[in-house]
């Protein structure tokens, strides 16, 4: 493999990492704004972006708290949403080949974006160097953009008087919708989405806030079990 | 400690535990068909439930208000392949307009 080819691979990886970082930055602004207008302190909001650092879970934690849910259901919802990162880590482990503190750092950067960019590189080329570079650069780029934009959103939101007058309460479900939208690819995913939505809707008048969302997770369990039982219906990726 | 801090800290620890588990737990434990099928379905179910609850719930009551119109506008934006920030801003702007005009609370 020539040096020129590696240089080209390197440039592609760097460009992609920066564009993905910038794109998540836009999303970080909305997270910061929503968290602070929802009643979290600036520090709590920033701790989530720096230490939890997995967008869907952060939005879920804040969303459940804003909706009047208790700490327990907020924690359960966000941690369950973060469970997918374990499966990303499983896919990434043979590519990254890290141990000790590097593994601890790699785990923190294991999110949707870094995983997608890493798996998009051909790991057989350049002995996996391109894939590894994609992981670390995308992870760091998203981390920097995500935290900077969270701060910008959080600080500007502190200046907002009435979040409802600006429609920020509609921005929260719209954000969740935009997160789930790319996952709705086929009939199966739509059935899960509609089923879970209905379960949460029907249970809302009967259970304390936050619990209906947890109950809807059972739809995923049923769907997962059914998929495996169906002949030839092995799990996707 | 406030309930919010408790949620922030324990939620963060839980999320990190899952991130680390994938890199540390021996493959066969997680690499089973039903486990990964459920893991694929979980984000879809949880996010969809959150969309519905955040659109229609006020505590334990259901309410049709400006949020629903905002989310409907978000659907249109997504169908037009708008990026994340546009989807969110459109939803907020439409909900704010509906309230300003006094059509819905």
Cβ within 8 Å, pair B95-A213? no
pLDDT at B49: 95
Distance CA A122, CA A126 (A): 9
Cβ within 8 Å, pair B42-A85? no
Show the tokens assigned to A37.
């207008």
B83 in the Ramachandran plot: left (φ > 0), alpha (ψ -120 to 50) or beta? beta
CB A146 within 8 A of CB A25: yes
Distance CA B62, CA A65 (A): 17
Q: State which H helix or E strand residue B62 sits in.
A: strand B61-62
Please report, in tens digits, the pLDDT of each residue of chain A (237 residues total): 578 999 999 999 999 899 889 888 878 988 999 999 989 999 999 999 999 999 999 999 999 999 899 999 999 999 999 998 998 998 899 899 999 999 999 999 999 999 989 988 877 888 889 999 999 999 999 999 999 999 999 999 878 767 788 888 898 899 889 989 999 999 999 999 999 999 999 999 999 888 999 899 999 999 988 887 775 544 444
Q: Could you count the other beta carbons within 10 Å of the beta carbon of residue A22?
A: 13
Contact partners, residue A191, CB within 8 Å, separation at least 6: A223
pTM for the whole structure: 0.84
Q: Of A185, A171, A198, which Cα lies nearest the Cα of A66?
A: A171
Q: Could you count the other beta carbons within 10 Å of the beta carbon of residue A221?
A: 15
Distance CA A112, CA A85 (A): 8
pLDDT at A235: 45
Q: How far A230 CA sits from the closest chain B CA (Å)?
A: 11
User: Which residues does chain B have within 8 Å of residue A176's beta carbon, measured at their own beta carbons?
Assistant: 47-48, 50-51, 54
* Nearest CB to A216; choose among B49, B70, B93: B49
pLDDT at B12: 98
CB A179 within 8 A of CB A55: yes
Contact partners, residue B27, CB within 8 Å, separation at least 6: A90, A93
Q: Of B39, B8, B71, B53, which Cα lies nearest the Cα of A175?
A: B71
SS3 at position A161: coil
Give Cα A176 distance to the centre of its chain.
Answer: 10
- Give the residues of chain B that fall short of pLDDT 50: none
Q: State which H helix or E strand residue B58 sits in.
A: strand B57-58
Q: State which H helix or E strand residue B46 sits in.
A: helix B33-56
At residue B89, φ and ψ (nearest 5 deg) are -65, -40
pLDDT at A1: 56
pLDDT at B73: 98
Distance CA A128, CA A22 (A): 25
SS3 at position A203: helix
Name the A residues in 131-190 with CB < 8 Å from any B CB: 164-181, 183-184, 189
pLDDT at A236: 44
Alpha-carbon torsion (A52, A54, A57, A60), positive or negative: positive
Q: Is A15 on the interface with B (CB under 8 A)?
A: no
């Amino acid at each position: 493999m020539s040096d020129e080819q590696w240089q080209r691979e390197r440039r592609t990886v760097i460009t992609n990492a920066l564009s993905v970082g910038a794109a998540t930055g836009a999303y970080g602004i909305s997270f910061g704004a929503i968290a602070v207008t929802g009643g979290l302190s600036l520090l709590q909001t920033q701790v989530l972006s720096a230490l939890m650092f997995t967008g869907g879970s952060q939005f879920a934690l804040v969303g459940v708290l804003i909706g009047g849910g208790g700490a327990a259901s907020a924690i359960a919802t966000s941690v369950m949403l973060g469970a997918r990162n374990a499966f990303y880590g499983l896919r990434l482990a043979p590519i990254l080949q890290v141990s000790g503190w590097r593994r601890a750092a790699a785990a923190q950067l294991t999110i949707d974006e870094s995983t997608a960019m890493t798996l998009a590189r051909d790991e057989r080329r350049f002995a996996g160097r391109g894939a590894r570079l994609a992981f670390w650069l995308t992870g760091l780029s998203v981390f920097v953009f995500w935290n900077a934009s969270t701060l910008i959103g959080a600080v500007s939101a502190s200046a907002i008087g009435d979040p409802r007058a600006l429609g920020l309460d509609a921005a929260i479900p719209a954000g969740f919708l935009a997160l789930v939208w790319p996952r709705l690819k086929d009939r199966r995913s739509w059935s899960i989405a509609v089923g879970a939505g209905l379960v949460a809707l029907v249970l809302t008048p009967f259970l304390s806030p936050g619990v209906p969302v947890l109950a809807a997770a059972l739809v995923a369990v049923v769907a997962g079990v059914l998929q495996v039982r169906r002949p030839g219906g092995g799990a996707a990726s | 400690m406030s309930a919010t801090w408790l949620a922030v800290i324990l939620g963060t620890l839980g999320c990190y535990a899952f991130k680390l588990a994938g890199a540390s737990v021996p493959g066969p434990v997680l690499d089973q068909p039903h486990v990964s099928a459920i893991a694929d379905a979980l984000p879809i179910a949880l996010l969809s439930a959150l969309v519905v609850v955040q659109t229609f719930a006020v505590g334990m009551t259901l309410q049709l208000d400006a949020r629903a119109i905002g989310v409907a506008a978000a659907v249109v934006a997504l169908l037009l392949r708008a990026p994340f920030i546009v989807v969110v801003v459109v939803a907020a702007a439409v909900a704010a307009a509906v309230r300003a005009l006094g059509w819905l609370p």
